[in-house]
Every structure is written in C-alpha cells, then in structure tokens.
Amino acid sequence: MSVKPNSSSTAVDALIGKFSGSGVTLELKGGKGSYTGSIFWTGKPYPIKASGNGSRATGQFTVGKQTLSFEAQVNGDALRLTVASKTYALTRVPSTPSPAVTKPSAAPPVSSVAAPTATRTVELREGSRYTGGVRITAKSQGVAFVVPQDFNGNSSGGALILGNGKGIGVIVLPFLGATGTDVVALMSRPLEVATGVTLRPSGAAQVSGNRLTLRYAANTAQGQIIATGIAVFGKGNGVTLFAFSDGSQSAAVDRVASSIASGVTFSTATATPLLERARQLLSGKYLNFFSYSSLPGSTYTGASDQSSSRTWNLCGNGQYTYEGSSENRFTLVNPPGVNGSSFGTSPDRVGVASGGGNANTGRWRLIAVGDNLILLFYAGDGSVDDYLVTNLEKRGGKSPGFWTVRNSSSFGASSVCR
C-alpha cells in the first residue's frame, strides 16, 4: 500500500511548499517550471529564483557579494537539497494546521462521547496484551485511559496499539513534560500508521477545554485513509491518541477517538525526576549525533560507506545554536581479499568530507512520549525539528546512530546563551 506523493497540498507540483531540516529551510512558490521563494541558510533568510520540472529544480541566491547555486530534488515529502557541494535532507512542513491552535472552522468538531465502562484496572507494561473494558494506568506519565469494548492490542515502546478486527486501528501515546505548543508541533507532523501509509493533517487544529483535535487523511492505491487525533492535557502530562480507518468509517473513527479521550484521568507522574535529570544532562552542553551506514553492495568495488554528525549548542536558558553538520563518504576501491587488501588500509578506500557551519538559533525542549525522549528545536525561522533521543549517555552508544554529550569551556561565551 503506498501513499500518492503530495496528496495533502501539492498534487500538481511536488516542489511547491516548505521543507525543513538540518538547520535549513527551503520554501518554493510558483510552478510550471519557474519558482521563487526563500532559503533559510547559515542563520539568515535569502530570496531565491529557480527553474525545474516539478520534481527537480536548480536555482541561485546571493549571500553578500557571492552567488550560490543550489539543486533541490523531491520525492514525496522528502527533499534532497544541495548547496555549495553540501547536501541536506529536508522534510515537507505541513501547510495546515498552523502551529497556533485555531477555533474550528470548516470541519465540524468531534462530538464528545462518553468514556467506555472499565471492568478492571491494570498497569501499562511493555509487551502486555489488553482487551476491551480495561482501564490502563501509565504511572510514569501519570495518566490513565479505558480500552473501548471490542478492541484489543499490545503495548510497545510505551504506546498502546489497538484494533477491533473491523478495520479501525488506534494508537495511544502518553506524554510528559510537554506544553500545548509542543504537542501541536508533533501532531502537525505526517503520521505513518503502516508501511507506505502516511497520514497528513487535513484541517486546522480544534481546541475545546483541555482537548485538542486534528484530522488526517491520505489517498492510497486502495482508497482514502482517514484519522482523528486527539490530545488531552493535564499539568504537563497527557495522552495523544490516533484512531484511523478507511474513508467510509469517519464517524466511527470520531466516536472511538472521543470515547478514549473522555476516559482520560490524571495522577502524579512518577517519571518527572527522570525527565528533569535528562534535561539537566543536556543543559549547557554540546550535543552531537553521529550516524554510520554501509550502502547496499558494500563488498564490491565502487560501493560506499558514509558517516555524518550534527552538533547543537544547548544553553541553560533554553536557547540553542545549531553548529552545523559534517559528512564523510568512503568509496571501496579494492574489496577485501582482492590483491591482498583489507578494510581500513590504503588503498582500500578513498574518502571525501563535507560540512558547514549553517548555524541558526532558537529554543530547545525535551519531552517524553511513550518510553521515548523527544528533542524539539524551535528555529528562528518558525520551523520545528524533532529528534528521537536514544542512548543518551556521555559516551554515546553504538551504530547506526548515537548521541554524545560533552562539556564546553567556551560555551558561556556564546551570546545566545547569556
């Protein structure tokens, strides 16, 4: 099952829209082979002009007295941007909903539905199976909710994944340490509910009391898939849930989502000290993410391995500076065993390195969603990047990717951190 590219807002020209990532934001307007817009690069916005064919565009922009060329190639919601021999991986920013919560407009609000009746209470535990009528407590986040009748499923990664055998699926994710802005930023992202099925927001966020609602849609080869997402807020904790099915069950999807939301209750979160310790570990430090990958066919001449790293300067006052990224690619010249060669010795590999400052500034936030830590970067250009933080240790972890945290004697000299 595959999602048609750009089903959310750019069905005619896949390049039209806003793409962001790696401290860079590209926005293209126009179409029919001619584009204008802007690029947020090295911490500043610059106007651009480009030409292309709907999937690939080339253009220029001016920085001071220097004219720089760029190439953008889009594949669905992913865009590969090359500027000055440096390549960036960007992701489409949904045009709606905006990060600001708005009142309901065109789409009717999701009606409130009574919570399911709970027959017993159990704790949310990894790998456990749950059936309808069970009240589940997530003590780490200080929330509880009830599984609807006729639904059953399993917990994985702090999330509960449910189905009713009639085409409706549900994902429930408790969260901790998040503001309303944080949750809107995450819920405004495309939502992958199955391999090749990515739902995108299809309307403005709706707010009523401590409940926020978003609708999603995707057109697939098998028809339309729709979803209703609801976040229920406590005091820094809460639940996000997504109910989804084909387009013929939109009313049923609304009812299921609303019934679960109506049954959410709150208590004291036990994981608050753990989240605070993680924040303290990052505050006032350099954070680096390193990844390594072997490309397919790496045992043959001409195949490549590559590594990359990204660095952020995280201030104790909640601000950050993105220090840029670097990338190294190694091309296999002689496979192991050929002419007596072995990995790691010349002339087995030849490498090229690339990188750039491309610094921008903004504010950083660390929240917990399910069993995962999510690092949010609110950039000065209005874009938001989110990263799943794993192996958060001072010495990092293992391939294919890990984070490292280190002190910096010059950190306090940064003006953004004062």
- Interatomic CA distance for residues 116 and 259, integer angstroms: 6
Q: Supply the mean pLDDT for the chain.
A: 77
Which tokens is 11 given?
């069905």
Which tokens is 179 given?
């503001």
Q: What is the pTM of this model?
A: 0.64
Q: What letter represents residue 214's amino acid?
A: L
Local confidence band at 414 (pLDDT 50, 70, 90 cut-offs): low
- Contacts from 42-49 at CB under 8 Å and sequence distance 24+? 42/356, 42/357, 42/358, 42/359, 42/360, 43/358, 43/359, 43/360, 43/361, 43/380, 45/381
Tell me if 132 sits within 8 A of 122, measured CB to CB.
no
Local confidence band at 175 (pLDDT 50, 70, 90 cut-offs): very high
- Give the mean pLDDT of 193-211: 81
Of 19, 212, 25, the C-alpha closest to 100 is: 212
pLDDT surpasses 70 at 14: yes
* Torsion angle in degrees (nearest 10) through CA of 242, 250, 146, 112: 110
Give the helix/strand (H/E) hosting 212.
strand 211-220
For the chain, how are helix, strand and coil distributed in percent, rounded to 5? 10, 50, 40
**What per-residue confidence (pLDDT) applies to 277?**
87
Coil/strand/helix, residue 389? strand
Local confidence band at 365 (pLDDT 50, 70, 90 cut-offs): very high
What are the tens digits of pLDDT across the range 78-89?
888 888 778 888
Give the Cβ contact number of residue 154 at 10 Å.
13
Largest CA distance in the chain: 73
The CATH H-level superfamily of 120-270 is Mog1/PsbP, alpha/beta/alpha sandwich (3.40.1000.10)
Coil/strand/helix, residue 181? helix
Query: Domain residues of the chain, as ranges?
Result: 17-92, 120-270, 274-417
pLDDT surpasses 80 at 292: no
CA angle 365, 368, 369 (to 5 degrees): 120
Local confidence band at 40 (pLDDT 50, 70, 90 cut-offs): confident
pLDDT surpasses 70 at 112: no
